[in-house]
Structure 1
């Protein structure tokens, strides 16, 4: 199977977990795009009644085009289930997100959700995090000074660029990617990054996910993460 076929397989399966009347967090990325397409099909063909809370402008636009009612996170009382992708997931169900420069909105929606599901193809699974660069969303003002501090710490930062221009998030911030190779203590790194002035949010999603659907050539596998303190408790 091609990678897109694997992504569509898990996206279609994830859409079956959405029930009538749910408020659903809609993630961002190529795998989630298939899931949103599947939800749009259910809305059109089955009369499924849901509200989507998007994590990016492009997901919001896709949802509206498919006839999914869209609301911002502050316009809903609760989010029943958020379905999102991930750039890397380790053996302990911790994750890195932000390859699409949407991890700030993704994390806001995730921590305000009762349950979180990640959908990925098998290439996203790894024994440890770090081989995928860790994204940071940073405000432009002072970003060069922040960059120098991160470099001095040995975190191998690089501003994300496209066509020679720095990538801007939906909030008009920059993205700095940390090329770490391997992260031995994700919680300690997250604590350090949380303390750095100028970093709006990092792409470590720790103790966030409940269910992971992984696409393999022989079919999807549904994995359940252990119950543990959620991300909001870790930040306290």
Structure 2
């Protein structure tokens, strides 16, 4: 009997798992890992958990969202609480969009603040993506903002002035009908369509009071693994894309 449509693996699912498996090949026992959020990160966490359960890897980790933390705990991955001095050898996360310069849009799953906190405390950030996420220019995917509820009206005014066409993210399961982050903040999705100058936009958003964090991750990732069918490419800023199978260690 065929699986229900919702459970049938897609090419995109296969690419996510391929990217995750490639990254797992560079994880070494003794590492302290940051675990990202979203479906591609979930594929990595699942494969990592299998290695931990089999006794093939001994690692410790901290997750960027409650959902990823719950999955890691379910799979028996040892978890560390945030503390002063804690740094991560490697954080593995997904992206909603990335370009050839490793500029990222992240936060489609609403975990952008915790993601940026962990990834700033990481010695190496590796991004995993299926082929649909690798773009020539950022902006088609809505840029998420995490916003303090009190400041929402003024944040919307300021983002509209920047041409961002902001929409407060809904969540029908909440009493007020609004999506909230793990920190209880609101999510606003900005529709710029094309972000010609990500660095300039990041500065403009940082200057708006009430925006806790924005989803532009610039100058943070060392490399990305982009799965394209059966291929896995390593993307690094300022360097030609290369076949991932040519790297025995982190690129």
TM-score w.r.t. the length of structure 1 is 0.92
Contact 2:19 2:226 in 1 (8 A): yes
Choose from 112, 116, 121 the match for 1:107. 116
Q: Distance in 2 between matches of 1:77 and 1:171?
A: 21
Distance of 1:182 and 1:6 partners within structure 2: 26
Match of 2:180 among 164, 168, 176: 168
Alpha-carbon displacement from aligned partner over 1:81-130 (angstroms, at most 9, x marks no partner): 00000000012110000000001000000111000000000000111100
For structure 1, which runs of at least 5 residues remain unmatched after alignment? 228-236
Where does residue 86 of structure 1 map in the other structure? 95
Q: Which deviates more from structure 2 when the two are superposed, residues 142-151 or residues 166-175?
A: 142-151
1:47 deviates by 4.0
Name the counterpart of 2:7.
none
- 2:249 — aligned with what? none
1:158 shift after superposition: 0.6
Which of 229, 234, 245 is 1:217 aligned to?
229
1:76 to partner: Cα distance:
5.8
CA RMSD of aligned residues (A): 1.5
> Distance between the aligned counterparts of 2:161 and 2:218, measured in 1?
25
SS at match of 1:113: coil
Conserved? CA contact 1:89–1:129, under 8 Å: yes
Structure 1 stretch displaced more, 192-201 or 74-83: 74-83
d(CA) in 2 for partners of 1:166 and 1:46?
42
Q: 1: distance between equivalents of 2:169 and 2:51?
A: 37
- TM-score, scaled relative to structure 2: 0.87
CA distance in 2, matches of 1:85, 1:72: 22
What is aligned with 1:233? none
Report SS of the residue matched to 1:91: coil
Q: Is the 8 A contact 1:73 1:109 kept in 2?
A: no
1:182 alignment counterpart: 194
Q: Distance in 2 between matches of 1:54 and 1:65?
A: 13
Equivalent-residue separation in structure 1 for 2:182 and 2:41 (angstroms): 18
The equivalent residue for 1:146 is 155
Offset from partner CA, 1:144-174 (integer Å, 9 cap, x none)? 1221222133221110112271110000000
Pick from 13, 24, 38 the counterpart of residue 47 of structure 2. Answer: 38
Q: Is the 8 A contact 2:34 2:88 kept in 1?
A: yes
For structure 2, the residue ranges without an aligned partner over 5 or more in a row are 1-9, 240-251
Q: Distance in 1 between matches of 2:76 and 2:238?
A: 35
Indicate conservation of the 8 Å contact 1:210/1:226, yes or no: no
Secondary structure at the counterpart of residue 213 of structure 1? strand
Q: Between 147-156 and 65-74, report the one with greater CA deviation.
A: 147-156
